[in-house]
Chain A
Amino acid sequence: MEVIHYRELTDEEKYEHFMERIENDEKIEAGDWMPDEYRKALIKLISSHGASEIMGALPEKEWVPKAPTIDRKLSIMAKVQDEMGHGQLLLRVAEDLLKPMGKNREDLLQDLFSKKLKFHNVFHMPSPTWADAAIIAWLVDGAAILTQTMLLKTSYGPYGRALKRICQEESFHAKHGESLVLALASGTEKQKQMLQESLNRWWEPLLMFFGPKSTKDIGHSSVDINMKYKIRFKTNEELRQEFLTKYVEKIQLLGLTIPDETICFDEEKQEWIYQQPDWKKFKQVVSGNGPRSDARISLRRDSYDESEWVREALSDYKNKNQSLVG
């Protein structure tokens, strides 16, 4: 076996060796040498995935105390707690990547507050009724499951391991969502109508969730870089097609109407034809100018500022106790 002394290699040689590892489907670990481009792509992907989990807890959180029955209260509490847990897990992975750059969680949170750190378009949207909690758990989580399953084989080891745990919990979320949707779909006219209206609200954001088909739609994309490094394996459009294949029939079977008259499966091309969402709107929303962006970000920021004294106290306590031991 050949032993390679990294310090003796030029950057170019390191890069070559790194790419070899990628080609051989080896997993990259936090302490391994990696090109800047790879590190940056990971940080961007994982920190915004983490931010999406944390911000994604908010639209459902609005319905936690209002969940209609004790059992629903229990299951939505469990679900939102999982999402916070996913956020925690992912931020830790991102933190390790940020360390060599002299950054930490505080920086990530400040980036979130200043809208520099982006999160998924769906979590900028309002969730005005209980049916939104149902549609989010069923379809937004359904969409997230597809993306996260695709990412399971990612070349970055720590991310893959976090995703493995996340995907296990996601299957419970899908069941929770299905159960909520089913109860409303088989309920009174009022319940059915509430569900349909919610689907109407969420359809476009759901299509947007996977991102634009080509870079032309919003001007830039990190998909290519991520594919090159085997961070991800499918394009946005492939995932969207998968989503439609998985859910269109299910939605219709519930007696719901998809708010797109043109939607159909083209047998010849073997793909779904659908009304393109408004990608300009998408770009606006993810830049932090969606209908609920400011409200949700400031909810997070204000509560964070409000408990500044607590974090100060904790670090003071830690310092005191360390000096006692030391």
Chain B
Amino acid sequence: MSHYETIVRELLYQLADDNFIHSYRGSEWLGLAPHIEEDVAFSSISQDTMGHASIYYQLLEKLLEVPVDEISHNRKPEEFRNAILLEEVNGPGDYLNSPKYDWAFTVVRHLFFNIFKDIRLQSLNQSSYEPLVHAARKIQTEQYYHLMHWKTWFYQLMSSTEEARSRMEQAIYRVWRDFGGVLTLGKYGGEMSDLKLIAPEAQLKEEWLNQIQQLFSEVDFTIKDDPGMEKGNGRNGEHTSDLVDALNVLSEVYISDEEAVGW
């Protein structure tokens, strides 16, 4: 594998794993959303997101000559490149037993990530790696609706009851503490932008901060510090036990029968 391909692979893992884990956390909400209309809309979004992961895993499949499902369902946690923020649980309890999920955290995490995802896709639109350009264009068509959805939730909850406002602010602080892990491109970031695969990390981050400031100003909110990376850098293979648990659930059936050739 050429050096170029090695770096492409690193980037593809970030893109695929971000969407895979993010979709999983979304799908845990199925049937539990605040109202039935939201359940339907949210699960459509999680499904699209899983579709995006699939598009990136297919690019990896071609590159690595390893089947999509082996890549997505049979890798060790330290081989995952998603941001740690995205693997964090939705709240205490698991999705089968008395989940106490946090809707405010979900709204903020989804919105902030989707703003970044949008910026990242725009940059991938000019990538030197042709297959990524096609993938990005395909995914972008669904992005507009997702962003609108979470923005609506954000505005409404930020400008309603006191309780909602305070829950949302708590959620923003919590997401902020680790959003740096979403914004980073990891240890190969410099090479990624040198090879024109994606814009430099600093540029992506600046654009994101601009959009977030804009958003905050509309709801009369400010935050001084830069987003942190308290729990570590998932782009370099650092992860929490939340990912280990998530992967156990995601792969439970796939790895339950080693002889199985099809599912």
Q: Hey, which bits of chain A sit against chain B, CB under 8 A? A: 54, 57-58, 61-74, 77-78, 80-81, 84-85, 87-88, 91, 130, 183-184, 186-188, 190-191, 298-300, 302-303, 306-307, 309-314, 316-317, 320
Contacts and interface: CB of A to CB of B under 8 A. Distances in A.
Given A187-B261, A313-B163, A67 B253 contact: yes
B201 interface: no
A263 to B, nearest CB: 30
Interface residues of B, number: 53
A87 B37 CA distance: 10
B161 interface: yes
A299 B30 CA distance: 11
B84 interface: no
B36 A88 contact: yes
Contacts, number: 151
Given A84-B36, A309-B164, A311-B35, A69 B47 contact: no
A186 B47 CA distance: 28
Contact of B103 (A78, A187, A298, A310): A310
A78 B167 CA distance: 31
A187 B24 contact: no
Contacts of A58: 31
A114 B160 CA distance: 31
Report which residue of A62, A66, A300 has the largest number of chain B beta carbons within 10 angstroms of its beta carbon.
A66
B72 A84 contact: no
Contacts of A300: 31
B60 to A, nearest CB: 12
A54 B36 contact: yes
B202 interface: no
B103 A317 contact: no
Contacts of B159: 317, 320
Contacts of B99: 299, 302-303
A309 B162 CA distance: 10
Contacts of A302: 98-100
A188 to B, nearest CB: 5
